[in-house]
Chains A and B, each alone.
Chain A
Amino acid sequence: MPLTDADLVARVLVDDDHHAFAELVRNHQSAIRGLLRQLTRSDLALADDLAQETFLRAYKHIRSFRGEAKFSTWLYRIAYNCFREDARKRKELVGIDETLLESQPDPQSADPALKHDLMHALQLLPLHERSAILLCCQNGLSHDEAARVLEIPLGTVKTNVLRGREKLKKTLAAWGPA
């Protein structure tokens, strides 16, 4: 039977077990790196640096994880904080960036043009709406969990998701269902 996140966290806490922590990283690296890639507008190197920083911080502060939220939610919160701190340093906490990076073509994607337009539409959203959309619609967090990650009120998350969705729908109107 595979160990749960709680089991692995317990092992790290009791025995400082690096293997258990490696398992946690393996289980969550895709989601965290994926979120950071989207937040950094497909800057893969920066996203991976921030993901690494996220896991190192998680290890350092694992005693502060009290199990009230899911481990993944706790990680998202650290990742978002890492991103925010880095963005502050780079003074990039603005809505629309004119120097948008092109997303890399994905051979697995069913329709590269749709993917391109979706990524483009996402990147056009202001950061607060993009973050809410990524957490709730793409990563499946509840509004409540997203509010904890983003450290903003629940109502604000709902508004951001709603506005973000509306903008995406408008931008992708040509692709939408008939």
Chain B
Amino acid sequence: MNEQFQEDWLDARLREEAPYIDDAGFTAQVVQKLPPRRASRNSFRGAILLGVTMLACVVTYFASDGGRFLISAVNTFAAMPLWMLYVVAIGCGMVATGVAAAAAYFQAREQTLG
């Protein structure tokens, strides 16, 4: 019992003698010595996606004879009854939400797993 008491006393004194050491610029010194940040992979990914999208737009424009398909699509929509336009709009919204939710899920998982 006395043995245990002595050990507890000793451990308590040891913990007492380990006071909090003030940072005093230590963290700043360490951060200063870190190698420069590597280029963000996300911005590189974004640039690739943007480039591919723009290229696809240009190819489509020329392949469709100056974007004539857009005019015919607008005519088709204009000829649709109102309820069908609602259905198409809701469908597009659901697809976009699904894609965004999946992207958010995979991004969160990547961050969690590191």
Contacts and interface: CB of A to CB of B under 8 A. Distances in A.
Contacts of B16: 109-110
Contact of A33 (B26, B40, B111): B26
Contact of B23 (A26, A52, A59): A26
Given A22-B31, A25-B26, A110-B16, A169 B10 contact: yes
Contact of A108 (B7, B15, B19, B114): B19
B6 interface: yes
Given A25-B26, A138-B15, A16 B37 contact: yes
Contact of A177 (B6, B23, B114): B6
A172 interface: yes
A54 B57 CA distance: 52
Interface size class of B (residues with CB under 8 A): 20 to 34
Contact of A30 (B9, B11, B20): B20
B72 to A, nearest CB: 45
Interface size class of A (residues with CB under 8 A): 35 or more
A105 B84 CA distance: 83
A15 B21 contact: no
B75 interface: no
A69 B31 CA distance: 24
Tell me if A's interface is mostly helix, strand, loop or mixed.
Answer: helix
A80 interface: no
B64 interface: no
B114 A14 contact: yes
B14 A118 contact: yes
Instruction: Give the 5 A-B residue pairs with the shortest CB-CB distance, closest first.
Output: A13-B114, A30-B21, A138-B14, A25-B27, A10-B114
Interface of B: 5-7, 9-11, 13-23, 26-31, 33-34, 37-38, 40, 42, 110-114
Interface of A: 9-11, 13-16, 18, 21-22, 25-26, 29-30, 33-34, 37-38, 48, 51-52, 55-56, 59, 67, 106, 108-110, 114-115, 118-119, 122, 133-134, 137-140, 165, 168-169, 172, 175-177
12 contacts: A9-B114, A18-B31, A25-B30, A25-B31, A29-B27, A33-B21, A52-B29, A118-B13, A122-B14, A134-B14, A168-B10, A175-B13
